[in-house]
């Protein structure tokens, strides 16, 4: 089944990966067994730091392994790729490496893209394509996707306004849009500053970046730009894809019975806090909550009302905007600093779960 046939929701429910020739041997152990559901993998065929006398042989071996494991390869090609593989057309590269789709980078005119689109799935550069250039591709092409760039250099990633405008216009034209999040282990060199599409994702957790792309920006699929992402982050992402429960990584100093419990954001929660609907029901009848750590409530603070708040004792909230100290409100924990952006994504009625922060 093609990506186009499988639909937007199925695309969003699978994480794509980037595979690099220079880090492939390190990545293999993490990729083994992952390809059983035929996820997409992104492979660039024109990274100058990877060129060597054995480049084409090594790339062929890598792609053969990925295909054997069940991955579908999206190969990023330019006119430089033609020189490297000593072929006259990208069709020959596609056949040689058995790729699922070609992402056409610089060096190809519109006529070439249209001709190729009639033969196989192609992926456009979402970050630079003009929407008025894609109408005939969508109309006549076999399958058209659009993938944003990732940006290795700090301060060069896309801003929110541009990203949203391009993404929405491409989706309105009927094109599925893909974007990148950074990894948290095995960052891509030589800069090692992460490979996000959006600049403000560069130093947050992969999970938080994934959640923003999914719930706020509504992209159709998310790829990890860097070679490595930890099992902890993959577990958080896959958990949401499977259950639509939003995991919030936290450290609790009190009320540790909240760890791993699925609770609800009250539907009438204001923008500055998340009110946990079930909190007072989880409080033991004979439990006394004495005032403790009643300091200023910063963003990410997890609070519990103490006995001084009378019938509200046991109420749990997550702070989304700074609030002053209140001697009736204890701070019992904090959301992981790299996951704070998740809090603004939680709407009334959504299910959340406190999970232990990965230390």
Please give the pLDDT value at position 287.
85
Tokens 């409530």 sit at which residue? 297
| pLDDT < 70 regions, the chain | 1-13
**From CA 172, how far away is CA 163, in angstroms rounded?**
14
Query: What are the helix (H) ranges across 90-223?
Result: 90-97, 110-117, 135-140, 160-172, 206-211
User: Which letter does DSSP use for residue 159 in this model?
Assistant: P
DSSP labels, 198-211: BGGGTTS-HHHHHH
User: Which letter does DSSP use for residue 120 in this model?
Assistant: S
**From CA 353, how far away is CA 261, in angstroms rounded?**
6
Mention the CATH class of domain 3-244: alpha beta
Please give the pLDDT value at position 13.
62
pLDDT tens-digit readout, 6-52: 333 445 567 999 999 999 999 999 999 898 889 999 999 999 999 99
Residues 6+ positions from 165 with CB-CB distance below 8 Å: none
- Give pTM, 2 decimals: 0.93
Portions of the chain given CATH number 2.40.100.10? 249-356
**From CA 170, how far away is CA 61, in angstroms rounded?**
35
Output the CATH code of domain 249-356: 2.40.100.10
Residue 182, Cβ neighbours under 10 Å: how many? 26
Portions of the chain given CATH number 3.20.20.70? 3-244
pLDDT tens-digit readout, 192-225: 999 999 999 999 999 999 999 999 999 999 999 9
């Amino acid at each position: 089944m093609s990506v186009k046939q499988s639909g937007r929701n199925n695309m969003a429910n699978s994480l794509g990966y980037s595979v690099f020739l220079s880090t492939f041997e390190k990545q293999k152990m993490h990729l083994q067994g992952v390809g059983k559901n035929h996820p997409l993998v992104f492979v660039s065929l024109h990274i100058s730091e990877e060129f060597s006398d054995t480049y084409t042989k090594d790339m062929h071996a890598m792609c053969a392994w990925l295909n054997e494991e069940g991955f579908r390869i999206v190969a990023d090609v330019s006119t430089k790729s033609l020189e490297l593989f000593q072929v006259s057309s990208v069709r020959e590269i596609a056949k040689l490496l058995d790729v699922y789709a070609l992402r056409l980078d610089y060096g190809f005119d519109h006529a070439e893209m249209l001709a190729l689109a009639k033969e196989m799935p192609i992926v456009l550069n979402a970050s630079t394509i003009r929407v008025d250039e894609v109408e005939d591709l969508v109309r006549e092409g076999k399958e058209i996707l659009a993938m944003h760039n990732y940006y290795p250099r700090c301060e060069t990633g896309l801003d929110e306004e541009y990203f949203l405008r391009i993404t929405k216009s491409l989706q309105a034209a009927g094109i599925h849009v893909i974007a990148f999040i950074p990894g948290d282990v095995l960052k891509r060199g030589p800069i090692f500053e992460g490979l996000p599409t959006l600049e403000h994702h560069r130093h947050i957790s992969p999970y938080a970046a994934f959640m923003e792309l999914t719930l706020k920006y509504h992209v159709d699929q998310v790829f990890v730009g860097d070679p490595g992402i930890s099992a902890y982050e993959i577990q958080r992402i896959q958990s949401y894809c499977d259950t639509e429960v939003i995991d919030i990584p936290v450290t609790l100093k009190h009320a540790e019975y909240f760890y791993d419990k699925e609770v609800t954001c009250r539907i009438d929660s204001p923008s500055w806090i998340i009110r946990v609907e079930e909190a007072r029901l989880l409080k033991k009848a004979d439990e006394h909550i004495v005032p403790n750590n009643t300091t200023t409530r910063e963003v990410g603070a997890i609070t519990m009302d103490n006995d001084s708040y009378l019938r509200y004792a046991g109420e749990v909230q997550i702070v989304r905007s700074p609030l002053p100290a209140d001697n009736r409100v204890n701070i019992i924990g904090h959301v992981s600093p790299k996951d704070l952006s998740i809090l603004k994504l939680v709407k009334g009625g959504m299910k959340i779960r406190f999970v232990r922060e990965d230390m």
